[in-house]
Amino acid sequence: MHELISHLKNKQWLWQGSQQPSKIDRLSTGFDRLDQQLGGGYPKNGVIELSTPLGIGELRLLQPHLALSEDSRLIALIGLPDQFCLESFTAMGIAYSQLLLVNAPEDKSQLWAAEQCLKSGACSHVLLWQESLEVHHARRLQVAAEQGDAIQFLFTQREQRSFSLPVNLSMNLAAQAHGLTITITKQKGGWPSQSFDLDLRQYWPQLAPKQHAATVIPFPLQKQG
C-alpha cells in the first residue's frame, strides 16, 4: 500500500492535505468574485471541466475571460450542441477571425480534433462538449494542453458519470436569477468551495429579470353609521 501511495504521489495523481498548494500561473475570469474563489483566476493551461445543464448561460461565463485575453491565437469550438450564436462572441469584442468551428459528428473525432488543436500551439482555448469522456481521454487532453500552452474548457453533465476526471479545475454550474450558482468541486493548487452566486448583470443587465415594486391597494374603510 505504501508503494502504491508513493507511486501516485510521484505521478502527481495524489495530493496530501498537509501540503501547501503549489503556485500556479492564472488568468482572470473577468469576474472579481470568481477570481477570488479560484485564487486569481483560471489556470494558465490545462483542462477545466464545467458540469452544467445546457443553455443556462455557461458560455457567458467564459466570454469575459476570452475577451480579456491578450492571446491572439484561435479559439476552437468543438461539438456545439445547438446552433452557434456568433453575435454573442463578437459583442464581447472577440474577433470573428479568431473563432474556429470544428464540425466533427462522432465523439471519437471530436476528441481527436480537440487534442490536435490543443497541442498544435495554434489555439489559446478549446471548448469541447463531450459526454463519453473516460479518464484516459482527460489525461491525453491535459498533456496536449500543457504541450500547446492552451486551456481546454470541457462541458459535461456529471450526473451521467459515476467518477471524477483528472482535471486542473472542476466546477458545477446551476441557473440563478441574476446569473449562475457555482460550486468548485476540485482545483489543483487550491480547495473546493461552498456554492456561491455569480452575478452576470455587469455584462448582460438586460438578461436579468426586473424587480417590480409591489402595488398595495388599501382596503376600503367601513363607513361609520
pTM of the model as a whole:
0.81
Q: What is the pLDDT of residue 19?
A: 45
Q: What is the pLDDT of residue 21?
A: 47
Domain ranges of the chain: 23-181
Is the distance from CB of 129 to CB of 81 less than 8 angstroms? Answer: yes
Q: What is the pLDDT of residue 162?
A: 58
Distance CA 217, CA 65 (A): 47
Q: What is the pLDDT of residue 180?
A: 95
Residue 53, C-beta contacts closer than 8 angstroms, at least 6 positions apart: 157, 173, 174, 175
Dihedral over alpha carbons 26, 29, 32, 37 (to 10 degrees): -60
**CATH architecture classification, 23-181:** 3-Layer(aba) Sandwich (3.40)
**Is 185 strand, coil or helix?**
strand
Q: What is the pLDDT of residue 91?
A: 85
Q: What is the pLDDT of residue 173?
A: 95
Is the distance from CB of 114 to CB of 78 less than 8 angstroms? Answer: yes
The grid coordinates listed for 82 are 445547438
Please give the chain's pLDDT, 225 residues, in tens.
566 666 555 554 555 544 444 578 899 999 999 999 999 999 999 999 999 998 898 999 999 999 999 999 999 999 988 777 778 888 888 988 999 999 888 899 999 999 999 999 999 999 999 887 889 999 999 999 999 999 999 999 866 555 778 899 999 999 998 899 999 999 887 667 789 999 999 888 876 556 655 666 666 666 665
Q: What is the pLDDT of residue 160?
A: 57
Q: What is the pLDDT of residue 58?
A: 92
Q: What is the pLDDT of residue 115?
A: 97
Tell me how far CA of residue 7 lies from CA of 12, 137, 171, 186, 189, in angstroms. 9, 21, 27, 21, 20
Q: What is the pLDDT of residue 224?
A: 62
